[in-house]
Amino acid sequence: MKTIAFQGELGAYSHEACMSAWPSCEALPYESFEEVIAAVKNTKADLAIVPVENTTYGRVADIHRLLPESGLHIIDEVFIRVRINLLGLPGSSLDDIKLAEAHLVLLPQASTFLEKMELGA
């Protein structure tokens, strides 16, 4: 079975992209983009999937920095629909929520909703 490296945890958007594009491959999670690239270069993985651009947030700068020097090249393209959810404790309502916390990249993607709901971030 072929393997495909991705940055993140099982269930992350990059994992979803792996399963969507190459469902017959075993997905291997890594902590960093550098580790993903190294896995392919060191033959620990046959392929890698990395985000190059986010249509809301823009290009993924780390990949644009790392890819040209990696010796790897793009062989396919996958598009994943990102769905952002606002989570709260059981029994809470939207009126109870005053502050939204998330990954630094996620907050700007949800800015229209956050502003509409008058939620601080």
* Closest residue by Cα to residue 28 from 43, 42, 44: 44
Sequence-separated (6 or more) residues with CB below 8 Å from residue 72: 37, 40, 41, 48
Whether the CB-CB separation of 39 and 28 falls below 8 Å is answered with: yes
Q: List, for residues 66-110, the tens digit of each pLDDT value.
A: 989 999 999 999 998 888 888 888 998 888 888 888 877 788 888
Beta bridge partners of 48: 5
Q: In terms of CATH architecture, what is 3-70?
A: 3-Layer(aba) Sandwich (3.40)
Query: Domain residue spans in the chain?
Result: 3-70, 85-121
Q: Please name which of 62, 22, 66, 79 lies closest in space to residue 45, comparing C-alpha atoms.
A: 22
Q: Tens digit of pLDDT for each residue in 21-77?
A: 999 999 999 999 999 999 999 999 999 999 998 777 778 888 889 989 999 999 999
Question: What residues are paired with 49 via a beta bridge?
Answer: 6
